Amino acid sequence: MKARVSWIACGLAGVAAVVLAVPVFFAAPSDGAAAFPQNEAGLTYGSALNLSDEAAPDLILVETTDGQEGYVYKSDLDNASGATVSTPDEAAAYETEKADRARQALAAAVDRMIESGSISAEIGAGEAALSELKEEARPEQQLAWVCNRLNLTDAQRSILTAEMDSAVANAIPVYQADGATVIGEFSVGESYDADYVL
């Protein structure tokens, strides 16, 4: 029986040595916020799911464009998503610039489809659709209008949607928990819907 007790004690001592050898620090929770582990640089990291902006860690858990889990700096995510906009004028300028990029991508994609002959409509109908795009219409309204006007297939609609999504996306680096080793990119942007009801 003594031998069994001494093996258990040795096993517990071994587990304690491993736990003590791995430096994982936790940020002290404030105001009921969740405690997050801290890396060696003192940055907190973890999921921001269901947390307020103030309670989010410094490095937020995301999935890269190629499916790996990693972390983005909260400040990078805020900048890419427009969260740092602080005045109505800045917000309007941010949204206008984003909408302009989406409109330009839509017009360029339709041009390429017409030039390649992949749109079944005659050239005149395609050019008319492009010239009738209303500048003040929201990009998703323009996308739906073009798709309906040119009677596009689902595959063609998907191409236009992907072009617009890509035009407004901002890629930010994804890091390991150390906040220094880049492992991929995370895309921040909008997703347009070709089935938008006019």
Ranges of each domain in the chain: 24-83+171-188, 88-169
In the prediction, which pLDDT does 122 show?
A: 54
- Please give the Cα distance from 12 to 3 (Å, whole number): 14
Q: Tell me the mean pLDDT in the region 144-165.
A: 84
- Please give the Cα distance from 58 to 71 (Å, whole number): 9
Q: What angle do CA 101, 102, 104 make, to 5 degrees?
A: 65
Threshold 0.85, pTM exceeds: no
Q: Is 51 exposed, middle or buried (0-12, 13-18, 19+ CB in 10 A)?
A: middle
pLDDT value at 23 more than 90:
no
pLDDT value at 156 more than 60:
yes
**Is 174 in contact with 185 (CB distance < 8 Å)?**
yes
**Is 57 in contact with 37 (CB distance < 8 Å)?**
no
Q: Tell me the mean pLDDT in the region 125-131.
A: 55
Cα distances (Å, whole numbers) of residue 130 to 16, 33, 73, 198: 69, 51, 40, 17
In the prediction, which pLDDT does 48 show?
A: 92
Looking at residue 44, the DSSP 8-state letter turns out to be: B
Mean pLDDT estimate for the chain: 77
